[in-house]
Chains A and B, each alone.
Chain A
Amino acid sequence: MTSPGKPLKTGPNGRPVRPFVMPASLGGKLYVWHLLLMRRAVQLGVLLLFVGTVRWGWELAGRPVLTGNLSSSELFGLVPLADPFATLQIMMTGHLPLQELLLGAVIILVFYALLGGRSWCSWVCPINMVTDLSAWLRRRLNISDMFHLSRNIRYTVLALALVLSVLTGVAAFEWISPISMLHRELIYGIGLGWTAVLGIFLFDLFILRNGWCGHLCPLGAFYALLGRLAQVRVGFDAPSCTHCGECARLCPEPQVLNLKEAAAAGMIASGECSNCGRCISVCPEDTLQFRLRYLIEPPNHSETTEPRQRRAA
Chain B
Amino acid sequence: MNKQAAISRRDFFARVGQGAALAATGGLVWSYLLGQQAQATPYAIRPPGALAEAGFNASCIKCGQCVDACPYDTLKLATADSGIPIGTPYFIPRETPCYMCEDIPCVPVCPTGALDHALDDIDDSRMGLAVIDIENCLSWQGLRCEICFRECPLQGRAISIEHHPRRISKHAMFVPLVHSDACTGCGICEKACPTQKAAIRVLQADLVQGEIGDHYRLGWTIDSPITQDFKAAPDSAAGSAAATGLDYLNEGAP
> Contact residues of A with B, CB < 8 Å?
53-54, 64, 67-69, 71-74, 80, 82-83, 86-87, 90, 93-95, 97-98, 100-101, 104, 153, 156-157, 159-160, 163-164, 167-172, 174-176, 180-181, 184-185, 187-193, 195-196
Contact = CB atoms under 8 A, between A and B. Distances in A.
B101 interface: no
B25 to A, nearest CB: 11
B41 to A, nearest CB: 10
Contact of B68 (A54, A93, A157, A169): A54
A160 B80 contact: no
A185 B27 CA distance: 26
B245 interface: no
Contacts of B79: 184-185, 189-193
Nearest to B81: A192
Contacts of A176: 30, 33-34, 86
A143 B37 CA distance: 36
3 smallest CB-CB distances across A and B, nearest first, come from A191-B79, A72-B63, A93-B58
Interface in B25-51: 26-27, 30-31, 33-35, 37-38
Interface string B92-125: 0000000000000000011111000100000000
Nearest to B77: A188
B58 A90 contact: yes
Contact of B54 (A74, A80, A169): A169
Interface in B46-67: 54-55, 57-59, 61-65, 67
B85 interface: yes
A163 B61 contact: no
B67 A171 contact: no
Contact of B63 (A64, A73, A170): A73
Contacts of B112: 72, 90, 95, 97-98, 101
Nearest to B59: A95
A59 B76 CA distance: 21
Interface residues of B, number: 41
Contacts of B237: none
Contacts of A86: 61
11 contacts: A53-B68, A73-B63, A80-B111, A90-B59, A153-B22, A163-B27, A164-B30, A170-B38, A170-B58, A180-B62, A191-B82
Contact of A160 (B30, B110, B113): B30
B23 interface: yes
A154 to B, nearest CB: 12
A138 to B, nearest CB: 25
A156 B22 CA distance: 9
A273 to B, nearest CB: 25
B31 A171 contact: no
B172 to A, nearest CB: 47
B62 A174 contact: yes
A188 B62 CA distance: 11
A54 B147 CA distance: 34
B153 interface: no
A169 B58 contact: yes
B210 interface: no
Contacts of A188: 64, 67, 76-77
Contact of A71 (B62, B76, B78, B110): B62
Contacts of A195: 80
A69 B63 CA distance: 5
A160 B23 contact: yes
B153 to A, nearest CB: 27
B252 interface: no
B78 to A, nearest CB: 8
A164 B62 CA distance: 18
Given A176-B34, A188-B64, A82 B58 contact: no
B19 interface: yes
A301 to B, nearest CB: 39
